């Protein structure tokens, strides 16, 4: 593992089937339940739940963006560990699939409003959040990985 320096954060982003990211970066932003969390080196330790959204990190002068679905993050002063159900880089996102997922979720929410179960509505809301976050990340300028 890289030696800990005071101006870097070691970030590891893991899904059930792959290691998406293992890198020493300058700053990280995470989609926390209560809003985006900006993490700089030396941040106070915390454990937080994540909602579907955008994980971004800054590497030299370049920002990189990834989609992350729900999960958890552990923050230590020079280490951030992120465990999520799914993650994709902008160029890995199938935009048509995300649009179909968005339409299905919106349709289910309309039906839920017409009296279907609350569980179905919550699941559709979560699917809609994932689809919208994927579409947002897919639109990010594609940054070359160092
Ligand atoms: P869908 O209804 O299209 O399956 P979902 O939100 O239910 O979308 P997830 O459960 O978040 O999908 O992800 C299941 C797997 O499919 C993961 O490996 C994820 O990376 C991949 N995946 C889902 N949607 C997309 C997409 N639009 N582009 C690329 N990969 C995707």
Contact 67/87 with Cβ under 8 angstroms? Answer: yes
- pLDDT band with cut points at 50, 70 and 90 for residue 2: very low
Please tell me the predicted confidence (pLDDT) of residue 112.
75
| CATH number among 2.60.15.10, 3.40.50.720, 1.10.150.130, 3.90.1150.10, domain 9-88 | 2.60.15.10
**Exposed e or buried b per residue across 79-93, where buried means at least 16 C-beta atoms within 10 angstroms of its C-beta:** bbebebebbbbbeeb
**Which pLDDT value is given to residue 143?**
44
Q: Which atom of ligand 1 is nearest to the CA of 134?
A: 27
What is the rounded CA–CA span in Å between residue 95 and residue 25? 28
Q: How do residues 12-38 score in pLDDT, each as one tens digit?
A: 999 999 999 999 999 999 999 999 999
Of the listed ranges 52-66, 71-85, 130-144, the least confidently predicted one is 130-144
Measure 19 CA to ligand 1 centroid, in angstroms.
Answer: 17
User: Which residues approach ligand 1 with their CB closer than 6 A?
Assistant: 69, 86, 88, 92-94, 97-98, 101, 127, 130, 134
Average pLDDT, the chain: 91
Beta strands in the chain (DSSP E): 9-14, 19-25, 27-32, 35-39, 46-50, 53-59, 62-68, 71-76, 79-84, 87-88
pLDDT at 135: 97
Model pLDDT for residues 110-131, shown as the tens digit of each residue: 887 766 677 888 999 999 999 9
Residue spans per domain, the chain? 9-88, 92-145
CATH of 92-145, one of 3.30.2390, 1.10.287, 1.20.5, 2.40.50: 1.20.5
């Amino acid at each position: 593992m890289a030696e800990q320096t005071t101006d870097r954060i070691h970030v590891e982003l893991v899904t059930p089937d792959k290691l998406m990211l293992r890198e020493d970066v300058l700053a990280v932003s995470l989609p926390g339940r209560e809003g985006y969390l900006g993490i700089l080196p030396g941040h106070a330790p915390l454990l937080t739940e994540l909602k579907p959204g955008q994980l971004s990190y800054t590497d030299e002068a370049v920002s990189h963006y990834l989609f992350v679905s729900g999960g958890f993050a552990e923050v230590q002063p020079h280490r951030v560990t992120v465990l999520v159900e799914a993650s994709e880089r902008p160029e890995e996102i199938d935009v048509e699939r995300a649009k179909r997922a968005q339409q299905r979720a919106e349709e289910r929410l309309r039906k839920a409003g017409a009296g279907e179960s609350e569980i179905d509505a919550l699941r559709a809301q979560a699917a809609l959040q994932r689809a919208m976050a994927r579409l947002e990340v897919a639109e990010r300028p594609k940054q070359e990985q160092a």
